[in-house]
Each structure stands twice: as structure tokens, then as C-alpha cells.
Amino acid sequence: MSKVHVSTTVNGEAVEFLADTRDSLLDSLRDSLGLTGTKEGCGTGDCGACSVRVDGTLVCSCLMLGVEAQGKEIETIEGMASGDTLHPLQQKFIEHAALQCGFCTPGILVASKALLEKNPDPTEEEVRYWLAGNLCRCTGYDKIIRAVMDAAEEMRGAA
């Protein structure tokens, strides 16, 4: 089966790749573009480890096709820090020990960033419900929630 040529923007950079029509966006990111920061935990949209943003919308990249990226703006964990400067969420995750194995971390960071852009001052309950689609099996979520709340507070202070 011949592949489809896809032109898209990932983390602000114009990129091109060839996609098998059955490749998920996650497959394309990981295998065609070498952006392995986005993880596959389930392939059925239940765990959120593959969370990315497409034109600003938070999606499970395992549920989109690679060919659907044509002409879109994709944002992944690799684009979250600005050079050496970490995003406040990344910084707070390290400070709060909000990761143990770290496998769910990229997806949770991408999802949390989307939350804070929508709602800069979320309650604990709002953070918990927003992240209910991102499974973490190590932490029990406690330190993740604290890190997101703390990052939100810091970002509000900086704004």
C-alpha cells in the first residue's frame, strides 16, 4: 500500500512525513518523526499517555490518524520547554516529586497545560476531573494535583 505524504507543523516547526493510512498520529509522531516523548499506554484512548494538542485541542493521539495531521498545528511534550527554560508545570512536577516512573508524565503535562490555558485558577476538584482521563499507576495522583495547583498559582503570579 502506498503511503500518504503529510505536511504539518509540530511544535512550531514545519515537518513532512509519509504515513501509512492506518498509522495513528501517535505512530507518526513516534516512528516517522522520532518524537518518542509521547507514549502509548493503551491505544484505545483510555489512559491519556499519548495526549497532544492539535490546533489547540487536547486529543489522544492514538485515536487520530497520522494523515489527519495534514495542515494542522501539533503540540507535543518536546515543545513544552523554551530552550533551557522549563514550563512552570515541568518545574513543579520535579519539585513536588509528581512523577515516579515518569511514563504518564508527558501526557499529564500536556493535558495540564491545556487546562491552565483554559482555566488559570482551577479548584482541586477541577484539576482532578480534567486529569481523570490521564492514568497514573505510581503516584496515587496526590503530588500531581499539588504540582498542577502550585504551577497554576505561580503562573497567575507571573501573569
Partner 1 sequence: MAKDTNTSDFRYIGSRPARPDGLDKVTGRARYGADIAAANMLHAAVLRSPHAHARIVKIDTSKVEALKGVKAIVTRADFPTGLTGEDWDLQENTMAGERALYDGHAVAAIAATSPHIARDAVKLIEVEYEILPHVIDVDDAMADGAPVIREGAANKTVPEGMHPNVVKYIEFGHGDVEDGFAKADLVMERHYKTEATHQGYIEPHACMAQLGADGKGEMWVCTQGHWYIRRMCAAVLGLDTAQLRVTASEIGGGFGGKTTIFMEPLALALSRKSGGRPVKLVMSRSEVLRATGPTASASMDVKIGMTKDGMLTAGVANFRMQGGAFPGSPVDMALYCAFAPYQVPALQHIGYDVLANRPKCAAYRAPGSPMGAFAVESLIDEMATELGLDPMQVRMKNGSKSGDQSSYGPKFGVIGLEETLAATQAHPNLSFPLGPNQGRGIAAGYWFNHGGETSVSVALSEDGTVQVSVGTPDIGGSRASMALMAAETLGIPYENVRVNIAETGSLGVNEPTHGSRATFASGKAMHGALTQAINEMCRRAAGKWKIDPEAVEWKDGAAVPAGPNAGQFPPMTIQEIARKMKNTGGPISGHHESVPDGVGDSFGAHVVDVEVDPETGHTKILRYLVVQDAGRAIHPSYVEGQYQGGAVQGIGWALNEEYVYDDMGRLQNPIFLDYRVPVASDLPMIDTVIVEVPNPGHPFGVRGVGETGITPPLPAIANAVAAATGVRIRHLPITPTKLLAAIKAK
Residues at the site binding partner 1, with contacts judged by CB under 8 A: 20, 22, 27, 30-31, 35-44, 46-47, 49, 76-78, 80-81, 86, 90, 93-97, 99-106, 109, 124-125, 127-129, 131-146
3-class SS letters over the chain: CCCEEEEEEECCEEEEEEECCCCEHHHHHHHHCCCCCCCCCCCCCCCCCCEEEECCEEEEHHHCEHHHHCCCEEECHHHCCECCECCHHHHHHHHCCCCCCCCCHHHHHHHHHHHHHHCCCCCHHHHHHHHHHCCCCCCCCHHHHHHHHHHHHHHHHHC
Nearer to partner 1 (CB atom), residue 9 or residue 71? 9
Please say which residue, 54 or 133, places its beta carbon nearer to partner 1: 133
For residue 129, the minimal CB distance to partner 1 (Å) is 5
Please say which residue, 29 or 69, places its beta carbon nearer to partner 1: 29
CB of 146 to partner 1, least distance (A): 8
